[in-house]
Structure 1
């Protein structure tokens, strides 16, 4: 028996567009916890993401240890200082160092997302010529989680200034798991529909016309 699809009416579409607009990379978090039923709903949303061959290559590590969180935060801070040396211009380097790039110490939840490079699931479908589709699938899972979080008023921040091998060692996961993201999850310290890097004058969003091509 087939099931009729839901009616995504004009009101829903307007709300969905607002959800996309308000999905932000959050760096400023309140420290109060995310209720466990909410966290379980967010984690469950990951399974709704599309994946190549239905391989579901994502592997989630929920970091509960305060010692591990502190170690990871210290590691990120060291990577941030090292990354600043990439900027030869002193003003740009100072601007970079003035940015808040993570909320690991404040966010009540920290989630490491890995991609299994050789999953038994999926039976190799769709990756013969583009093995990276496994990682792309994991990115789709992260985006699904991101939207599910924002719809519940929960913020998510993607931290990328880490050394993947170091984090993998810290978390004691298999070598064939590739780190895709370190995610801070919690309630935002304040609402904002404008990307923080745009607010801080680092980089504004550019027009679609500059990124849309036709052949």
Structure 2
């Protein structure tokens, strides 16, 4: 049985609420999907996600990942801004420091052996992907690894024309915080559009 799971950084409580409000303000009369909330689809920064074999043990793997990377109690990442990603995606993009790259490398190294490669969507249209994104998708079933890693909080998805218009008018609609602070690692069940639909394991960043 295939399990669609991901590992993510979760924002501090106040920044979680900021992201939820940002999604509402940005979408306005064109609500972005899926809706973010503190009880449902949590705002998050995906480190890695994909289809995994049923034998994967999220709690054990998250503990091993945490033990393998020296993380601070809180990780603050500078905002890059609201960006559009084909097709129809709106991201709150953040910087990609060396520590975040190291975290992803560790996560990928630990989890890649558990990927259910037969579940990769080989019919997916990757014509709008960059070359590095296509290579990442072919190798891991996930668009953003290695040089293609583009850390972000997903604000949602809509029609392509609407997404382009929302990005263009974003400065008039919302205030973008200068940085985002994360304090937990999460293993989650992927929902609509890869959302953080259900938490299956969680650890504070500086867990011992």
TM-score relative to the length of structure 1 = 0.28
Higher strand share: 2
**Structure exhibiting the larger radius of gyration computed from Cα positions:** 1
Using the size of structure 2 for normalisation, the TM-score is: 0.29
Structure with the larger helix share: 1
